[in-house]
Amino acid sequence: MPRASTLRIARLAALALVLIVIIYKVTNPSSLTALSRAAGYHEKSASSPGPDQKGAVTSGDMPAAPAKEDVKSEEEPAVDVKTPVDEGKDYVRANATFVTLARNQDIWSLVKSIRHVEDRFNRKYHYDWVFLNDDDFDDHFKEITSSLISGNVKYGKIPKEHWGYPDWIDQEKAAEVREQMRQKQIIYGDSISYRHMCRFESGFFFQQELMKSYKYYWRVEPDIILHCDVDYDVFKYMEKNGYDYGFTLSLYEYIDTIPTLWNSVKKFIKEHPEHIAENNLMDWLSEDNGITYNKCHFWSNFEIGNLDFWRSKAYGDFFEFLDHEGGFFYERWGDAPVHSIAAGLLLPKEKVHFFDDIGYWHVPFTNCPTNKADRLKLKCSCNPADNFVWKGYSCTPRYYDVMQMKRPSEWHQQS
Ligand SMILES: Nc1nc2c(ncn2[C@@H]2O[C@H](COP(=O)(O)OP(=O)(O)OP(=O)(O)O)[C@@H](O)[C@H]2O)c(=O)[nH]1
Ligand SMILES: [Mg+2]
């Protein structure tokens, strides 16, 4: 037989064999489950980090995923891959939730964030997730987000009085400001919704019905990245250490968005000296003992915090005072400087915590753990050269100084 024909027959035989195997697997889905189990997939997804002084989940107390209401179809494999190990049912979660403000159209930016948070942290702990919107969430948004999250998921609509103009605001004056800011090309300067968002995040997210039962929260925005494993329960860590506010990035605010904010803060300090904590972070916020603001703020697109702080009388008075000053609409005050100044002045400084070990990105800045040993241990995917923390525009070096904290040994390589 000619050599070319022999080769053709051999190729046809191989193709037929491959087809038979594919047809067998498609018609026997359980064989795929068995294969993945044999490869250790379930065991691996349920494996836990070793004991850590920060309170890592160990195999003995791995939390079980809360029961979901979804009805499963009979065709699904018997093993629920979301449920790690049986011992997990005894793990006691902190009273905490993730919280995300979003619109329906944010869905595809948001799924990336959720995936990162689940993969790096929440698949081990199954904390709840609250979504808030000034509109109704649609079924598509709910279906996709709930399929990705391993804890309970809740969807809330923000009441009108928390997303709109208070009656003391002159809307014509506000419109003039937006036009001036548009001409000056100030980012989001001409946006009405951005202002409602900033005011909502400043004064109302913690007042939402769905948030009322929680004590701690982790704020997550669309399009963020978690660069490293978070191998301990951050909420319990906040609780155990008495922290009320945690951040990953800090920087200088764009002054054109808050020209009179500090004047208002100074008026508040005069009116309410009783709310100012004794051992506060004023030296981080100001280089002249409070006369001027140096514009340092924690970047609030990431926050892990204690909701009771925002619900306190001190913060309530602070927000109400600022709200009446009108700067959310007559300027473009952001929730980042508002939260930061509050955390910096109303809390004693030991209640604020820098999460140096949470590798985080929100366009355009990165927090990448400074020391190589930490990046390796936490399986980080960030380039240390991108670490913003020690760069000139970051306020975190100043935070270290004010807190009299020792800088990580490799910081100077990233400045
Ligand atoms: N429901 C709702 N959510 C909003 C609206 N505007 C912004 N958000 C959300 O508020 C948060 C902050 O908005 P962003 O647009 O991320 O603002 P930013 O982080 O300052 O700017 P970016 O660089 O665009 O990320 C995000 O979680 C958004 O999804 C809005 O009009 N409605
Ligand atoms: Mg954002």
What local confidence, expressed as pLDDT, does residue 91 receive?
87
Which residues line the pocket of ligand 1, CB cutoff 6 A? 100-103, 106, 133-134, 193, 197, 221-222, 301, 363
Ligand 2 centre distance from Cα of residue 4 (Å): 62
Q: Distances in Å between the alpha carbon of 304 and those of 51, 99, 296?
A: 22, 10, 18
The whole-angstrom separation of Cα 38 and Cα 319 is 57
**Cβ-count burial 194-229 (b if 16+ within 10 Å, e if not):** ebbbbbbbbbbbbbbebbeebbbbbbbbbebbbbbb
User: Closest residue (by CA) to atom 19 of ligand 1?
Assistant: 301
Ligand 1, from 221, 225, 299: best to mutate by most atoms within 8 Å of Cβ? Answer: 221
The helix (run of H) or strand (run of E) holding residue 115 is helix 107-120
- Smallest CA-to-CA distance from 348 within 270, 275, 272 is with 275
- With residues binned 3-state (H G I as helix, E B as strand, rest as coil), the percentages for the chain, rounded to 5, are 50, 10, 40
Ligand 1, from 163, 301, 303, 363: best to mutate by most atoms within 8 Å of Cβ? Answer: 301
The whole-angstrom separation of Cα 159 and Cα 352 is 31
Pick the atom of ligand 1 nearest to 363's CA. Answer: 23
Q: What percent of the chain has pLDDT above 70?
A: 79
| pLDDT surpasses 90 at 365 | yes
Range name among 1-10, 75-84, 184-193, 230-239 with the lowest pLDDT average: 75-84
Q: Distances in Å between the alpha carbon of 323 and those of 191, 298, 346, 374?
A: 18, 20, 17, 42
> Which ligand sits nearest to residue 198's alpha carbon?
1
Ligand 2 centre distance from Cα of residue 352 (Å): 22
CA angle 153, 156, 158 (to 5 degrees): 155
- Half-sphere exposure (Cβ direction) of 313: Cα atoms closer than 13 Å: 4
Range name among 77-81, 120-124, 136-140, 145-149 with the lowest pLDDT average: 77-81
- Going by the DSSP 8-state scheme, the letter that residue 136 receives in this structure is P
> Which ligand sits nearest to residue 98's alpha carbon?
1
What local confidence, expressed as pLDDT, does residue 24 receive?
44
| Phi and psi at residue 304, to the nearest 5° | -120, 120
Ligand 1 centre distance from Cα of residue 332 (Å): 14
Selected catalytic residue, list 118, 253, 303, 325: 303
| Domains (range + CATH), the chain | 97-413 (3.90.550.10)
- Look up residue 246 and give its two tokens: 């945690």
What local confidence, expressed as pLDDT, does residue 90 receive?
76
Ligand 2 centre distance from Cα of residue 362 (Å): 7
Ligand 2 centre distance from Cα of residue 294 (Å): 23
What local confidence, expressed as pLDDT, does residue 75 receive?
40
Any catalytic annotation for residue 143?
Answer: no
The whole-angstrom separation of Cα 295 and Cα 292 is 9
pTM as predicted:
0.83
pLDDT tens-digit map of 42-72:
222 323 333 334 545 544 445 666 654 433 3
N-term to C-term CA, the chain: 73
pLDDT tens-digit map of 178-212:
999 999 999 999 999 999 999 999 999 999 999 99
Pick the atom of ligand 1 nearest to 100's CA. Answer: 27
